[in-house]
């Protein structure tokens, strides 16, 4: 019988229908005439899967038999977005599937809408991981993405009386057709207990971990298809399950209820995604999640992916584990434990291997976002790993003392172990010491990482540090999300741009072509109308058809300064209702917000309430009707982003300089022909350099200016006192105008701004308003605006995640280690 896979269904409408009906009847077990939309969606998804299967099997075989270096991407988050459209795109089956469904009497759009996106991430970091695995498959780079199969992803956001209410995201409730469970490939993961010394038969002193309890990891495989290249890589997500031994111990004690509860305890590990995307709290379950998926992944790679007789001294030639922030950093002591305790390597040799197997990406600049774990907790959960961390630290500090004799302060600064406010492990330091390379995610952040976050380390090993500017996948964020623009681009310069985004440059001359500009503007208008239809159905919002669409979508955080946007909106509104500006002098704008707040982030939730309050008041005020509108659709996610971004005219990227590591939404907007109003922060810096100052609205302090103001002592009240417009704006909010006269309802946000303002909103207010006036002037000239928008698209090809992947390959994954 055949050694390879049997033939996939024929890539014809007839072939597709046959496969679909087979899936419906024999897979789902229903007749077409009796099937629900969900049955049809599941059968359609499984049909598309069939077309990917041969490529998946073949890619898997090639990886196993070949000797290419594999990228093991370790990430606690993958914010994948809907899968159906992407799979149809990868297989080039969009038209065939649509026609096949039509002939079955089914509207494929309804099936697309049935899919619940897997929201296994919080925001930028998780979405970046999803873009990276897409690009690696498209570039045919061997990659296994490792992560956690959370039963509940990022919460679904609803608003009740303007306040955020979180609803559990039961994305698996109706079944997920995209995952392949492999319970037979379960891995045991140990926790707790203690360590013991023993002497091996060569007389060497060894350590063994005697764990206290364990759980099983069950892998669920997902296909990661490349764009029409036949490659299908794997994403392997781990789900926690109680072990037999786990139950038996307690069952034997006769306490059934306790035993069942214990099972729940084990399975809690992969139950829910932590919804904080900064200021992590040292939650025990979170550390369990981190070690759980890392231990499963390392074991899987060493025991199942490598050939049986593999010489582990060659490990760095076969794998590079990329650490997506510090969340998987416990992998470093875990690999040391495997090599030293289990495989019997000497420490030095194991350490040399380990350091060449890891590379670390840092995604933050906020000191409060740097992960630390208390020694008490780490020692209790992972006693052997704590010993190994101590040992790593001791040997490392010895080296430092040798390099800088007498500089004990430096050694203390560089210690993995912090002493205050409690003894704890600094995961970023462990990551840096244990990795071959360390990178930031945009030029500015990489520089600040070297200068401010890890200065001693970059002085000690400068060659270790590098930058890889983030990118986004053009497949999802242009081709899938913006078919109209894609068709226009392809009609103009051909279709190569989809996998070679620099080709967008060829659009530049068309910016001066009035005919092309008209088509480009028509695409934007059609995308707006599509968005408004969706928001009307989804959120009951009725928005004017011909206003500038001004968009601020991202997680809610003080440093991202949603309040600055709010002050701008209120100031425009105040200008009109106070009679300062006649309504016919105002450029019509529709403001769109999208933002989830971490459930425990009180002030962020107050800001959400205030945005909703301002929106309700302005939308109901006849004096500004049709001119100023504010929309805050709930539950911003990848699916909604794919509708909002292609419709945007203006992209708001207004973080305080020096705080946003990169941003990736900023790139998606530019690539979809929105102009950016932004600070000199994160990847905005590079966007502005590429698109040119004339096509970017820059405002605000630079990072050094922010630092200088901090050093002088920042007092927001001074700005409030001295700026009349700012004062009127804040006073209107404080007066209760937007909160039914109840001043208390806006007081926390207002007081925070006027008395603390940790992210200097008031200091940048005037500069922001001035830039917004320049935006208005530019928008009044539609030809000039569209020209700029086209140049934004043409000059943003750099921000493809394919380019990011090439940079990782050149600078990190295929480059020789520092030593």
Q: Which residues contact 26 (CB under 8 A, 6 or more apart)?
A: none
Q: Tokens in use for 93?
A: 């089956």
Are 625 and 523 a contacting pair, CB within 8 Å? no
Which has the closest alpha carbon to 639: 58, 81, 2?
81
DSSP letter string over 291-311?
A: HHHHHHHHHIIIIIIS-TT--
Please count the other Cβ atoms lying within 10 Å of the Cβ belonging to residue 622: 6
Contacting ligand 26Q (CB under 6 A), which of 207, 229, 243, 278? 278
Block residue for tokens 């026609």: 99
Cα–Cα distance between 463 and 75 in angstroms, integer?
25
Respond yes or no: is residue 643 known to be catalytic: no
Tell me the site size for ligand 26Q, rule CB under 6 A. 22
Helical H segments across 672-759, by residue range: 684-691, 703-712, 716-722, 724-734, 744-751
Cβ nearer to ligand 26Q, comparing 70 with 661: 661
Q: Under rule CB under 6 A, which residues in 128-147 are in contact with ligand 26Q?
A: 128
For ligand 26Q, give the closer residue by CB, 40 or 684: 684
Q: What is the DSSP letter of 499?
A: G
Site for ligand 26Q (CB under 6 A): which residue of 83, 91, 297, 470? 470
Nearer to ligand 26Q, 285 or 586 (CB): 285
Q: Tell me: does residue 176 bind ligand 26Q (CB under 6 A).
A: no
CB–CB of 739/746 below 8 Å?
Answer: yes
Active site residue 725: no
The answer to whether residue 658 forms part of the interface with ligand 26Q (CB under 6 A) is: no
3-state DSSP: the chain helix, strand, coil percent, rounded to 5?
Answer: 55, 15, 30
CA gap 473, 499 in Å, rounded: 9
Nearest residue to 446 via CA among 278, 277, 662: 662
Give whichever of 233 and 664 is closer to ligand 26Q, judged by the CB atom. 664
Nearest approach in angstroms of CB 449 to ligand 26Q is 12
Stretch that binds ligand 26Q, among 380-388, 578-586, 655-663, 696-704 (CB under 6 A): 655-663
| Tokens linked to 410 | 């430096």
CB of 364 to ligand 26Q, least distance (A): 6
- 588: its two tokens: 């019509």
Q: Which is nearer to ligand 26Q, 33 or 281 (CB)?
A: 281
Tokens of 554: 């991202």
Helices (H), strands (E): how many in the chain?
A: 33, 25
* Residues composing the chain: 819
**Cβ-based nearer residue to ligand 26Q, 339 or 677:** 677
Candidates 274, 291, 351, 765; binder of ligand 26Q (CB under 6 A) is 274
Is 575 an interacting residue with respect to ligand 26Q (CB under 6 A)?
no
Stretch of 153-161, 178-186, 278-286, 787-795 contacting ligand 26Q, by CB under 6 A: 278-286
CB 808, min distance to ligand 26Q, A: 13
Binding window for ligand 26Q (CB under 6 A); candidates: 117-125, 256-264, 518-526, 542-550 = 117-125
Return the number of the residue (343 or 602) whose C-beta is nearest ligand 26Q.
602
In whole angstroms, what is the distance from residue 664 CA to residue 651 CA?
Answer: 12
Check residue 85 for interaction with ligand 26Q (CB under 6 A): no
Query: Catalytic: which of 363, 475, 589, 803?
Result: 363
Strands 187-191 and 213-225: antiparallel
Catalytic residue flag (residue 787): no
The minimum distance between CB 276 and ligand 26Q, in angstroms, equals 4
Q: Is 660 in the site for ligand 26Q (CB under 6 A)?
A: yes
Closest of 412, 427, 416, 274 to residue 362, by C-alpha:
427
Nearest approach, Cβ of residue 383 and ligand 26Q (Å): 21
Instruction: Tell me the C-alpha distance between 724 and 511, whole Å.
Output: 40
Contact flag: residue 453 with ligand 26Q (CB under 6 A) = no
3-state secondary structure of 237: strand
**Residue (12 or 689) nearer to ligand 26Q, CB:** 689
Based on the shown chain and the rule CB under 6 A, indicate whether residue 123 belongs to the binding site for ligand 26Q. Answer: yes
Question: By C-beta, is 320 or 661 nearer to ligand 26Q?
Answer: 661
- The C-alpha atoms of residue 11 and residue 14 are separated, in whole angstroms, by 8
- 169, 277, 334, 802: residue in contact with ligand 26Q (rule CB under 6 A): 277
Q: Does 682 bind ligand 26Q (CB under 6 A)?
A: yes
The encoded tokens of residue 488 equal 């226009």
Tokens 């999802």 locate to: 476
**Considering the complex, what minimum distance in angstroms separates the CB of residue 713 from ligand 26Q?**
27
663 binds ligand 26Q (CB under 6 A): yes
**Cβ density class 472-496: b for 16+ within 10 Å, e for less:** bbbbbbbbbbbebbbebbeebbeee
554 included as an active-site residue: yes
662 binding ligand 26Q? (CB under 6 A): yes
Minimum Å gap between C-beta 649 and ligand 26Q is 22
Minimum CB distance to ligand 26Q smaller for 125 or for 691: 125
Angle (CA) 148-92-90 rounded to 5° is: 20
Catalytic residue among 475, 555, 643, 787: 555
Among 74, 79, 100, 125, which residue interacts with ligand 26Q (rule: CB under 6 A)? Answer: 125
Work out whether strand 437-440 and strand 465-467 pair parallel, antiparallel, or are unpaired: parallel
369-388 residues near ligand 26Q, rule: CB under 6 A:
371
Least spacing, CB of residue 50 vs ligand 26Q, in Å:
34
Three-state DSSP state, 270: helix
Q: How far is the CB of 79 from ligand 26Q (least distance, A)?
A: 9
Residues 789-818 that bind ligand 26Q (CB under 6 A): none
Of the pair 128, 610, the CB lying nearest ligand 26Q is at: 128
Residue 731 touches ligand 26Q, criterion: CB under 6 A: no
CB of 531 to ligand 26Q, least distance (A): 24
Catalytic position from the list 664, 729, 739, 786: 664
For residue 179, the SS3 value is: strand
Least distance in Å: CB of 444 to ligand 26Q?
11
Nearer to ligand 26Q, 276 or 513 (CB): 276
Q: Are 290 and 327 in contact (CB under 8 A)?
A: yes
Look-up: residue for tokens 């995952």? 179
Q: 186 by DSSP, 3-state: which?
A: coil
- The residue (of 730 and 809) whose beta carbon lies closer to ligand 26Q is 809
User: By CB under 6 A, is residue 155 in contact with ligand 26Q?
Assistant: no
Peptide bond preceding 421: is omega within 30 degrees of 0, i.e. cis? yes
Which among 496-504, 582-590, 658-666, 701-709 is the span making contact with ligand 26Q, rule CB under 6 A?
658-666
Least CB distance from residue 529 to ligand 26Q, whole Å? 30
Q: Does 328 bind ligand 26Q (CB under 6 A)?
A: no
Which one among 370, 382, 397, 441 touches ligand 26Q, defined by CB under 6 A?
A: 441
Strands 70-74 and 319-324 come out as parallel
Considering only 64-72, 168-176, 241-249, 654-662, which stretch makes contact with ligand 26Q by CB under 6 A?
Answer: 654-662
- State the catalytic residue, choosing from 554, 605, 659, 803: 554
User: Residue 444, Cβ neighbours under 10 Å: how many?
Assistant: 26
- Identified catalytic residue from 668, 688, 737, 795: 668
Backbone angles phi, psi at 291, to 5 degrees: -65, -40
Residue 233, token pair as written in the block? 């890589």
Residue 546: burial class (beta carbons within 10 Å; 0-12, 13-18, 19+): exposed
Nearest to 580 by CA among 589, 572, 569: 572
When asked if residue 363 is in the footprint of ligand 26Q (CB under 6 A), the reply is yes
Are 154 and 275 within 8 A, CB to CB? yes
Residues with a catalytic annotation lie at: 363, 554-555, 560, 664, 668
Residues that bind ligand 26Q (CB under 6 A): 122-125, 128, 274, 276-278, 280, 286, 327, 363, 371, 441, 470, 660-664, 682
């Amino acid at each position: 019988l055949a050694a390879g896979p049997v033939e996939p269904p024929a890539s014809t409408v007839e072939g597709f229908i046959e496969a679909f009906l087979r899936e419906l009847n024999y897979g789902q077990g229903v007749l077409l005439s009796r099937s629900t939309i969900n049955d049809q969606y599941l059968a359609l998804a499984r049909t598309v899967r069939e077309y990917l299967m041969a490529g998946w099997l073949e890619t898997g075989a090639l990886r196993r038999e070949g000797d290419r270096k594999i990228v093991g991407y370790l990430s606690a988050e993958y914010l994948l977005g809907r899968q159906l459209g992407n799979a149809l795109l990868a297989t080039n089956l969009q038209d065939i599937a649509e026609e096949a469904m039509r002939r079955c009497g089914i509207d494929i759009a309804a099936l697309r809408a049935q899919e619940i996106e897997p929201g296994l991430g919080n925001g930028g970091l998780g979405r970046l991981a999803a873009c990276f695995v897409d690009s690696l498959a498209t570039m045919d780079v061997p990659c296994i993405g490792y992560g956690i199969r959370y039963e509940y992803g990022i919460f679904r956001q609803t608003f009740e009386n303007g306040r955020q209410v979180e609803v559990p995201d039961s994305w698996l409730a109706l079944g997920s057709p995209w995952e392949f469970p492999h319970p037979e490939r379960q891995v045991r993961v140990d926790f707790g207990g203690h360590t013991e010394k023993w002497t091996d038969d060569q007389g060497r002193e060894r350590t063994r971990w005697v764990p206290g309890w364990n759980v099983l990891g069950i892998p669920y495989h997902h296909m990661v298809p490349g764009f029409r290249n036949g490659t299908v890589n794997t994403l392997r997500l781990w789900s926690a399950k109680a072990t037999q031994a786990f139950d038996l111990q307690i069952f034997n004690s006769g306490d059934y209820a306790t035993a069942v509860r214990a099972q729940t305890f084990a399975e809690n590990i992969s139950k829910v995604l932590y919804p904080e995307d900064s200021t992590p709290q040292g939650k025990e379950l979170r550390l369990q999640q981190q070690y759980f998926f890392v231990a499963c992944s390392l074991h899987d790679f060493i025991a199942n992916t490598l050939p049986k007789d593999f010489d582990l001294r060659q490990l760095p030639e076969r794998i590079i584990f990329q650490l997506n922030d510090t969340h998987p950093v416990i992998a470093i002591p875990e690999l040391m434990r495997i090599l030293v305790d289990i495989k019997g390597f000497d420490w030095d040799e194991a350490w040399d291997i380990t350091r060449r197997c890891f590379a670390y990406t840092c995604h933050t600049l906020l000191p409060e976002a740097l992960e630390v774990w208390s020694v008490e907790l780490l020692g209790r959960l992972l006693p052997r790993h704590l010993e190994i961390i101590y040992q790593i630290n001791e040997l490392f500090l010895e080296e430092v003392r040798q390099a800088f004799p007498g500089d004990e302060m430096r050694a203390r600064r560089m210690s993995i172990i912090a002493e205050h406010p409690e003894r704890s492990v600094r995961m970023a330091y462990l990551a840096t010491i244990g990795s071959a390379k360390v990178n930031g995610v945009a030029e500015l952040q990489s520089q600040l990482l070297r200068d401010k976050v890890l200065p001693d380390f970059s002085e000690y090993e400068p060659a270790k540090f590098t930058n890889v500017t983030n990118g986004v996948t053009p497949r999802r964020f242009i081709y899938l999300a913006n078919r109209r623009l894609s068709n226009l681009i392809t009609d103009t310069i051909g279709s190569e741009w989809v996998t070679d985004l620099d080709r967008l440059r060829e659009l530049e001359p068309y910016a001066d072509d009035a005919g092309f500009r008209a088509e480009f503007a028509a695409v934007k208008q059609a995308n707006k109308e599509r968005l408004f239809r969706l928001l009307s159905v989804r959120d009951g919002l009725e928005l004017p058809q011909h206003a500038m669409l001004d968009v601020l979508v991202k997680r809610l955080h003080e440093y991202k300064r949603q309040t600055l946007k709010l002050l701008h909106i209120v100031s425009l509104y105040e200008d009109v209702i106070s009679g300062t500006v006649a309504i016919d002098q105002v450029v019509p704008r529709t403001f769109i917000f999208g933002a989830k707040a971490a459930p425990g982030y009180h002030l962020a939730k107050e800001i959400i309430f205030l945005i909703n309050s301002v929106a309700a008041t302005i939308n109901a005020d006849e004096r500004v009707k049709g001119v100023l509108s504010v929309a805050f659709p709930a539950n911003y996610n990848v699916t909604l982003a794919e509708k909002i971004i292609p419709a945007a005219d203006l992209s708001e990227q207004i973080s305080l300089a020096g705080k946003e590591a990169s941003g990736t939404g900023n790139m998606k907007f530019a690539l979809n022909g929105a102009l950016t109003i932004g600070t000199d922060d994160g990847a905005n810096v590079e966007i502005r350099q590429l698109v040119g100052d004339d096509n970017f609205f820059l405002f605000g302090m630079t990072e050094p200016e922010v630092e200088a103001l901090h050093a002088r002592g920042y007092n927001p009240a001074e700005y409030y006192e001295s700026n009349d417009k700012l004062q009127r704006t804040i006073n209107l909010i404080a007066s209760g105008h937007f909160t039914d006269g109840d001043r208390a309802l806006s007081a926390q946000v207002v007081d925070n701004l006027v008395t603390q303002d940790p992210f200097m909103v008031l200091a940048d207010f005037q500069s922001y308003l001035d830039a917004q006036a320049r935006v208005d002037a530019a928008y009044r000239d539609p030809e000039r605006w569209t020209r700029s928008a086209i140049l934004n698209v043409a000059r943003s090809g750099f921000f493809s995640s394919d380019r990011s992947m090439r940079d990782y390959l050149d600078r990190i994954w295929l480059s020789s280690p520092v030593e």
